[in-house]
């Protein structure tokens, strides 16, 4: 059995190609929307994609099952409970498919979603080989899939389903079963997903908190305690993936915008997103633009912020960076990208003003504490991060609330210093606050990482 992982870092998402290499046939499990990487990998190895499998209707990224089916002609297999309206083969619990000598069996593993199936793989040509489980979003390294993404009305039932999945399905599997999950550390589909590429059922029985609960009530408390806010765009993508996404080829290319075109698009209601680095944004940005820098956190915060029913225009360093942002945006269904503008120099040279984001160093903040000009510190990290430790006296106002338009209630005449773990989220928050009329806003250089290093051994940290 051949198994290849395909990781999309900004989504912390993992797709798999697996099958019988000697027979030349493979299946792809949970592909993302841009499918070229899977096809190119298979072509290089002389393999044919003969099946496309899904574990569930995804909410955090646009599924690529239809894109891959169009390229390869392979059928799509997905849960019989998913209510998906595109052409597919519905599979229920115990249904199986042979890919060469490899048999894939669907195991109904609800809890993250009602329709979720995990795919168990065995290889008839390797009788002594350990069984494999592609667990999707039901089981992660050290965690389980969160059961609250379909809304409060379904959470209790899904918690019960998840408890049954853990106790009746996963606990019953052989301990040596190798588990390949659908996400790694950083995904919002769990609350504390480990970073290891795979695990075993035995390891999870020994280490995973969800396997250690002796009752359904204890399980519910353990799973839901400390659960972060779900991203606001998940219901949108749930609908997209139920109907099937439009083909990428139908969306067309993104064009460069002049200063006047950029200004006109912004005036017409387009959201201007600056995808450069946090440092570049701080040094100079177009007033009203929102910072979401290309990188590991891009998709998460674009999904929180971008209006799916309005245009988006990027400000980027060059066409390549804008193209990278476009690819990432389309992976989460943001298809209305009307163009991009290179840098801010042309804007400045046209006589239009640039805005800046002031920064405060840990030394400066420490010196200002207790003075008449002491700033209000606003920590935009998640609840769990804040509870572990924070600057004494800091206001806690998570970035997700600011992204929803819930601005912190502050004395705007006093300086405001925003902090997060390293500076990315505080820059996003600052850009939103500046766009909403705040003026005396700064960010803490290096975030809590720099603050903790500066104050190691004698730090004003509350916990």
CATH (domain of 415): 3.40.250.10
Question: If residue 217 lies in a helix (H) or strand (E), which one and from where to where?
Answer: helix 216-224
The whole-number pLDDT of residue 288 equals 96
The whole-number pLDDT of residue 226 equals 86
105, 202: one domain: yes
- Name which of 301, 299, 357, 359 is nearest 333 in CA terms: 299
Cβ atoms within 10 Å, residue 152: 7
The whole-number pLDDT of residue 456 equals 65
Contacts of 411 (CB under 8 A, 6+ apart): 376
166-192 residues labelled b (16+ CB within 10 A) or e (exposed): beebbeebeeebbbbbbbbebbbbbbe
268, 219: one domain: no
The whole-number pLDDT of residue 461 equals 56
- Name which of 4, 12, 8, 94 is nearest 44 in CA terms: 4
Number of compact structural domains in the chain = 3
Given the residues 418, 420, 433, 441, the one annotated as active site: 420
343, 372: one domain: no
How far the first Cα of the chain sits from its last, in Å, is 49
When computed from its CA atoms, the radius of gyration of the chain, rounded to whole angstroms, is 24
Residue 395, domain extent: 358-462
The whole-number pLDDT of residue 458 equals 46
Say what the pTM is: 0.93
Contacts of 94 (CB under 8 A, 6+ apart): 105, 106, 107
342, 370: one domain: no
Structural domain includes residue 46: yes
Beta bridge partners of 49: 26
Mode of pairing for the β-strands spanning 48-53 and 132-136: unpaired
345, 362: one domain: no
275, 364: one domain: no
Using the 3D structure, point to which of 235, 261, 285 is the last residue of a domain: 235
203, 55: one domain: yes
55, 174: one domain: yes
Reply yes or no on whether 189 is catalytic: no
67-89 residues labelled b (16+ CB within 10 A) or e (exposed): bbbeebebebbbbbbbebeeebe
Helix (H, G, I), strand (E, B) or coil at 348: helix
343, 363: one domain: no
Contact 55, 145 (CB under 8 A): no
Please identify every stretch of the chain with a pLDDT value under 50, giving residue numbers as ranges: 457-460
Contact 347, 306 (CB under 8 A): no
What are the DSSP E strand ranges found in 199-280?
A: 199-200, 271-274
Mode of pairing for the β-strands spanning 139-140 and 132-136: unpaired
Q: How far apart are CA 74 and CA 77, in angstroms?
A: 10
303, 284: one domain: yes
Greatest alpha-carbon span in the chain: 76
CATH number, position 195: 3.60.15.10
Structural domain includes residue 242: no
Helix (H, G, I), strand (E, B) or coil at 369: coil
344, 363: one domain: no
Using the 3D structure, point to which of 235, 260, 279 is the last residue of a domain: 235
Using the 3D structure, point to which of 305, 327, 349 is the last residue of a domain: 349
Structural domain includes residue 326: yes
Structural domain includes residue 244: no
Structure tokens at 301: 């915060």
The whole-number pLDDT of residue 229 equals 84
Structural domain includes residue 220: yes
How remote is the C-alpha of 210 from its chain's centroid? Answer: 22
Torsion, Cα of 277, 278, 282, 285 (10° steps): 50
230, 257: one domain: no
């Amino acid at each position: 059995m051949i198994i290849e992982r395909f990781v999309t870092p900004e989504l912390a998402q993992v797709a798999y190609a697996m099958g019988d290499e000697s027979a030349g046939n493979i299946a792809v499990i949970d592909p993302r929307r841009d499918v070229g990487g899977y096809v190119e990998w298979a072509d290089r190895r002389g393999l044919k994609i003969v099946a496309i499998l899904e574990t569930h209707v995804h909410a955090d990224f646009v599924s690529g099952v239809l894109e891959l089916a169009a390229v390869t002609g392979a059928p799509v297999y997905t849960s019989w409970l998913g209510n998906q309206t595109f052409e597919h083969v519905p599979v229920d619990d115990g249904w199986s498919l042979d890919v060469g000598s490899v048999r894939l069996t669907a195991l109904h593993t609800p809890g993250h979603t009602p329709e979720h199936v995990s795919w168990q793989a065995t290889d008839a040509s390797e009788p002594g080989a350990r069984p494999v489980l592609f667990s999707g979003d039901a089981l992660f390294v050290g965690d389980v899939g969160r059961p609250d993404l379909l809304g409060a009305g379904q959470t209790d039932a899904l918690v019960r389903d998840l408890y049954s999945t853990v106790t009746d399905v996963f606990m019953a599997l052989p301990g040596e079963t190798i588990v390949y999950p659908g996400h790694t550390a950083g995904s919002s589909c769990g609350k504390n997903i480990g970073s290891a590429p795979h695990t075993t059922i035995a390891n999870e029985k020994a280490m995973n908190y969800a396997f250690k609960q002796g009752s359904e009530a204890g399980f519910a408390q353990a799973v839901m305690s400390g659960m972060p806010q779900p991203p606001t765009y998940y219901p949108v993508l749930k609908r997209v993936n139920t109907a099937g996404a439009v083909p990428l080829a139908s969306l067309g290319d993104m064009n460069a915008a002049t200063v006047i075109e950029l200004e006109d698009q912004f005036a017409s209601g387009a959201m201007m997103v600056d995808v450069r680095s946090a440092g570049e944004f701080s040094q100079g940005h177009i007033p009203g633009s929102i910072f979401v820098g290309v990188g590991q956190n891009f998709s998460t915060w674009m999904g929180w912020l971008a209006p799916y029913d309005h245009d988006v225009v990027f400000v980027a360093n060059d066409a390549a960076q804008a193209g990278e942002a476009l690819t990432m945006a389309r992976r989460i269904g943001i298809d209305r990208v009307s163009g991009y503008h290179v840098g801010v120099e042309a804007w400045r040279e046209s006589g239009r003003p640039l805005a800046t984001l002031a920064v405060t160093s840990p030394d400066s903040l420490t010196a200002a504490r207790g003075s008449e000009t002491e700033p209000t510190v606003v920590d935009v990290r998640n609840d769990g991060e804040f509870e572990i430790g924070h600057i004494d006296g800091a206001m806690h106002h998570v970035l997700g609330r600011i992204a929803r338009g819930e601005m912190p209630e502050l004395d705007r005449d006093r300086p405001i210093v925003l902090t997060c773990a390293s500076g990315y989220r505080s820059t996003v928050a600052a850009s939103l606050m500046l766009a909403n009329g705040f003026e005396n806003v700064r960010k803490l250089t290096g975030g809590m990482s720099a603050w903790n290093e500066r104050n190691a051994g004698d730090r004003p940290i509350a916990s």
